[in-house]
Structure 1
Amino acid sequence: MTASIYNPATQIGGETQFFEWVWQNQTYSVAYETRGSGTPVLLLPAFSTVSTRGEMQGIAEQLAPHFQVVAMDWLGFGQSDRPPLNYCPALYRQLLQDFVRAHFQQPIAVVAAGHAAGYAMQAAQQPNLFSKLALVAPTWKGPLCAMGAPTPVRDGVRELVRSPGLGQFLYGLNTTPGFLKFMYRRHVFVNEARLTPDFIAAKHQITQQPGARFAPAAFVTGTLDPVANRDEFLTVGRSLTIPTLVVIGEQSPPQSKAEMEALATLPNVQSVRLPGTLGMHEEEASEVAAIVSPFLRA
């Protein structure tokens, strides 16, 4: 399949390549990019309607002088293929494990944002896959789930957005530049001055790729939640045997921040608090990298 191409500003400044990944007897192209040299570090962007590896660009710039930085677009997002699959946690768990095993000969360090943190934590239970975890504003609960929408409602919304015609219309309403700016201002960025017309236009362009609605519909409705509840989230956290750092955004929404704080209380987890909210890996990239870099090099 041919991957979608969009504004190069959404990349991290390296060479774009594609991993040909087989899922249920079909092959899909997964975009990734490499920058710098040295010990490898994998950067995993947060799941969102506008998810791309480009949101990790600021962190990549800070780490590239010391590491070989690899950033990946999840299937269904960014520059990767966006087929109309029934996206689910099992797909992304397998993709992450297969990507790492295909590209790295030794356990690697991972910097994961948002929902990607949950998938990285689960993958870390596999032997000899990861060496360190840096989890930036880690979350596990999708937007409609966090709002308290019952499962039948969330399932109905997902199927509506997946449907032809009406689904594309509903998706379009929820990805207008005005709505994207509203969502960023509400819980993604703290500094509204960063939400320039050019910034919002670039984010909007990401939503306009063929097949763009399918994976985001799964994320928004909680279908991609890596765990079912906080107890399961913390059980995964307690199972970690590698060095783990949690970066908590001080201005994160109360529910999300409570999950970050709960994870930070585990005895095997280091934590630090910085200004920022759910998009702090992009908005406060320099500050996050300044904390993550020495942790990775220790």
Structure 2
Amino acid sequence: MNKSMKKNIRHFFLLTAFAAGTIHLVNRFIDFTASMKNILKTENGNFFDWKNGKIYYTRRGSGTPVLLIHDLSPLSSSYEWCRYAKKLEKQHTVYTIDLLGCGRSEKPYLTYTNYLYVQLITDFVKEVIKDAPTAIATGSSISFVTLAENMNNHLFHKIIAINPPMPEKFNRTPSNSSTLKKALLEVPILGTFIYNVKTHEKNIQKLFYTEYFNKPQLASSKMLDAYYEASHMNGSHGKYLMASIEGQYMDNCILHALKKLSIPFYVVESRSNPDSVQIVTSYAKQSSMIETAYISNVKHLPQLEAPDKLAEVIRMLFEREEK
């Protein structure tokens, strides 16, 4: 090997080390700045010492228990329920939870699976709530709530699904391409950088404006900051949950569990979703225990965009059940 080749190789490794060091510093800077506003405080809550990590939760109000479960995303946290929970506290004991890998809870390096969350929710209900709550879950989180009920009959009093996807959507297994995505996100420096790009403030804003809210002007800067902060609490370790989601490790068929329901199950779907009729129809045909309703002029997060409207829709569903 001549001197010129050795010099080029040395320069390559120096540049690679410099680039890696620079990306690492950028990653650290993003984590630091994301939490500067300290919106997601922990002083008003507690931690459940679960076997896979500490789980942040709050308990407010008095009356029959209600458990609010946010959408399954490293951007999400129980902040999702901050406006709606206040409407329940006068009549219910309201529990909110930051799922493992999200918000203020721990974010361990492991493969997150649907069954992991089945275990978490089951243990939380049995060890913390110690009574059968009404569970209200957003989006994909309805999958592990449904399976938890299937494995523990009457774990819940009722289940309410807010904008769930098609039940058939959960019947997927990891593929070669999805497994590659998972592995790439888990790479220490590069994977963290990719995660930080995906959770950039502008991408969160775009998500609110296109998918979360029907009226973007209602998405306050505080809401956007809370989601940005949630994605970077405990470093950027939310990437491990994102890796498992993109790797399709979170999917598990729920059709059999829906067919075996023995408690009331409500589906509230946004009319803004072009697939809303198909989704509602698919759930309704699974069991006579399933009631459905539409909510208008909102998108994926009615509990943040229009909590009064969501409360009215749920109240009407309960009245329909009593008749």
Query: TM-score scaled by structure 2?
Result: 0.78
Task: Mark the CA change 1:33 to 1:153 in structure 2 (over 3 Å): closer, same or farther.
Answer: same
SS where residue 299 of structure 2 aligns? coil
Counterpart in 2 of 1:127? 153
8 Å contact from structure 1 (residues 10, 55) kept in 2: no
Q: Distance in 2 between matches of 1:14 and 1:292?
A: 30
Select the structure that is richer in helix.
2
1:142–1:224 CA contact under 8 A, matched in 2: no
Query: Quick check: which one's strand share is greater?
Result: 1
Instruction: Tell me the percent identity.
Output: 23
- Contact 2:74–2:103 (8 Å) recurs in 1: no
Q: Give the aligned partner of residue 230 of structure 1.
A: none
Residues 1:106 and 1:150: Cα distance change in structure 2 (over 3 Å): closer
Choose from 244, 250, 257 the match for 1:236. Answer: 257
Tell me how far 1:197 sits from its aligned partner. Answer: 3.6
In structure 1, distance between residues paired with 2:250 and 2:184: 17
Question: Is the aligned partner of 1:75 residue 2:91?
Answer: no
Q: Is the CA contact 2:280–2:292 (under 8 Å) kept in the aligned structure 1? A: no
1:264 is aligned to 284
* Residue identity matched to 1:177: E
Letter in 2 for 1:50: L
Where 1:128 maps in the other structure, the secondary structure is coil
Deviations 1:242-274 (A, max 9, x none): 0111101111253x7633431134422111100
Structure 1 residue runs without a partner (length 5+): 228-232
**Whole-angstrom distance in 1 between the partners of 2:140 and 2:203:** 21
Unaligned runs of 5+ in 2: 1-34
CA RMSD of superposed structures (Å)? 3.0
What do the CA deviations read for 1:137-195 (whole angstroms, capped 9, x no partner)?
1136899x99x998222211111111111101111111111111222222222111123
* 1:293 CA displacement: 4.3
Q: What SS is found at the alignment partner of 1:224? A: coil
- Which residues of 2 match residues 75-94 of structure 1 at below 5 A? 75-94=100-119
Superposed CA offset, 1:210-246 (max 9, x none): 112111222244321243xxxxx33321211101111
Corresponding residue of 1:174? 198
Out of 208, 226, 231, the position equivalent to 1:184 is 208
The equivalent residue for 2:133 is: 108
**TM superposition shift of 1:40:** 0.8
Are 1:289 and 2:311 counterparts? Answer: yes
Q: Is the 8 A contact 1:141 1:222 kept in 2?
A: no
Matched, 1:245 2:266: yes
Q: Which has the larger radius of gyration?
A: 2
Identify which of 210, 213, 217 aligns with 2:239: 213
